[in-house]
Amino acid sequence: GESVGLHLPTLSVQEGDNSIINCAYSNSASDYFIWYKQESGKGPQFIIDIRSNMDKRQGQRVTVLLNKTVKHLSLQIAATQPGDSAVYFCAETSYNNNDMRFGAGTRLTVKP
Amino acid sequence: DAEITQSPRHKITETGRQVTLACHQTWNHNNMFWYRQDLGHGLRLIHYSYGVHDTNKGEVSDGYSVSRSNTEDLPLTLESAASSQTSVYFCASSEGTGHRGNTIYFGEGSWLTVV
């Protein structure tokens, strides 16, 4: 069946380093992708999105890359800070499938 | 600022009791959703609504119901709570029609324990 998944369940980085969180999807019809950040005890927060007509989108300290050929999405966080420690999920949806599916999440831990 | 609020934030209830979780959004979004989040499963859609008087079943709707009498509110009712419904529940909303290309914004969650 179709799925959205993450390559790594946990990621630990040093403060100041760059972080890369990966996500694979299998529905080739997916055309809209979102990254969410979820801090402990809180709801998921929107970070950045990308549509399938783009392969890169940049925000403040974050960049999302989309590789449709291999159905891969990544979130890059520059100069990772302790406040970036959280679970990050990708989500995908497609125009013909009125549904949004979420990955299980990757826990990012930033070491001081 | 517009927001989405859930109540109660924490609740303990007994098996068999009816429980209602409230969700209120002030964005005037057409779409509202309820998800549950469990370790190992990620977010799973329970019910959703695309407008007043519209409700639809999601992936894990058994044992839950919703009603949409106005734009702002989508209460989630557990008709007869079961221990399998112990979870964190998130309400969410989005603009526009359906999930199609519309960012979903989440509430802070309601932690429900069924004993």
The 3-state secondary structure of A51-83 reads ECCCCEEECCCEEEEEECCCCEEEEEECCCCHH
The whole-number pLDDT of residue B97 equals: 60
Confidence of residue A2 (pLDDT cuts 50, 70, 90): very low
- pLDDT tens track for A23-61: 998 888 888 899 999 999 899 999 999 999 999 999 999
Q: How far is B99 from chain A (nearest CA, A)?
A: 6
The whole-number pLDDT of residue B11 equals: 98
Q: Check CB contact under 8 Å for A93 and B100.
A: yes
- Comparing alpha-carbon positions, the chain B residue that sits nearest to A106 is B42
The whole-number pLDDT of residue B45 equals: 92
The residue written with tokens 């990708």 in the block is A90
Q: Is B50 on the interface with A (CB under 8 A)?
A: no
pLDDT along chain B (115 residues), means of 10: 89 98 94 89 89 94 97 97 97 73 86 97
Indicate the pairing of strand A10-14 with strand A45-51. unpaired
- Comparing alpha-carbon positions, the chain B residue that sits nearest to A32 is B101
| Mean model confidence pLDDT for chain A | 88
Average pLDDT of the residues in A62-89: 96
- pLDDT tens track for B76-96: 999 999 999 999 999 999 886
Residues 6 or more apart in contact with residue A38 via CB below 8 angstroms = A44, A45, A86, A87, A88, A89, A105
CA angle, residues B27, B103, B48, in degrees to nearest 5: 75
B89, B97 Cβ separation under 8 angstroms: no
The whole-number pLDDT of residue A95 equals: 63
Q: 3-state DSSP call for residue A6? A: coil
- pLDDT tens track for A5-20: 544 489 999 999 999 9
Q: Check CB contact under 8 Å for A95 and B101.
A: yes
The whole-number pLDDT of residue A98 equals: 57
Report the C-alpha gap between A91 and B103 in whole angstroms: 10
